Amino acid sequence: MGTLVFHILLFSAFLLADIDKKGNIKEEVILIEFPDNIPEPELPEEEPEQQEKQQQQAPAPTVNNRTNLASNRSARENTTTSKEEFFDNEYLKEVEAAQKLSSSVSNNLSKDVVDLSEIKMPVETTEGMDRDSIKNVIYAGESNIVYYLENRYHVSLPVPVYLAQGGGTVIVDIKVNRDGTVVDATARKNNSIRDQQIFLYAQEAATRTIFNKDDAAPALQKGTIHYTFVAQ
């Protein structure tokens, strides 16, 4: 058996190589040709369920993403614009209402403001009276006027106590010169009085008051006049 195998190998060697006269073996290149058209291996077909999963897992196209971003941005801009328009409209409405209120108040104030210099008041005079019979209290009862000015008496005293609708007592600080003229009159505050016109009437009446002349009096003698108004 071994001899048979040996002879087969030897025979194969002689077929593949030539032995020259010197005993050298020449090797020949063996070329192996492959056919040009080699059929591609057939791949197993994917099941429909696997194809659907792959389609679901695949990322969405970039174009759709850009479209969605643009749509979201546009929606936000529209929302912001609508909010700004809403607040702008509300602000304009409030401004318009405030302007109307201011105009209404101004009109009412212009109607209520009265030129005090044109108001006529009853005047209490002491002309022709004995000085000892003159008192510093004018009227008695709910409505009255009382003044305090040392060693001085009134010559002309306007009476404003029936002019205002509201009631209350107003004290006016006065400064009188030697000629008897009131050069300064300031009404004191009284929080219990709601009718502000009362203060104006009292101050105007005090300014119009005239006292007797006294060369021995201080250059500016200080005093007060108390006006008690009766609600009409």
Is residue 208 pLDDT above 60, yes or no? yes
Alpha helices in 45-184 (DSSP H): 48-57, 62-112
39, 136, 192, 193, 196 from 113: Cα distances, Å: 113, 31, 22, 18, 11
Residue 2 CB coordination number (10 Å):
6
Q: Which residue has the higher pLDDT, 200 or 119?
A: 200
Four-residue CA torsion sign, 17, 20, 25, 29: negative
Q: Which two tokens stand for residue 206?
A: 């005090």
- How does residue 145 score in pLDDT terms, banded at 50, 70 and 90? very high
> What percentage of the chain carries pLDDT values higher than 90?
35
8-state DSSP, 213? -
Q: What pLDDT sits at residue 163?
A: 81
CB of 157 closer than 8 Å to CB of 145: yes
CA 65 from chain center: how many Å?
40
For the entire predicted model, the pTM comes to: 0.52
- Average pLDDT score over the chain: 75
Q: Render 20-53 in DSSP notation, one character per residue.
A: -TTSPEEP-PPP----S-PPPPPPPPPPHHHHHH
Q: What percent of the chain has pLDDT over 70?
A: 52
- Determine the number of helices (DSSP H) and then strands (DSSP E) in the chain: 4, 10
- Comparing 44 with 184, which gets the higher pLDDT? 184
Tell me if 137 sits within 8 A of 146, measured CB to CB. Answer: yes
Which of 144, 220, 153, 215 shows the shortest CA–CA distance to 182?
220
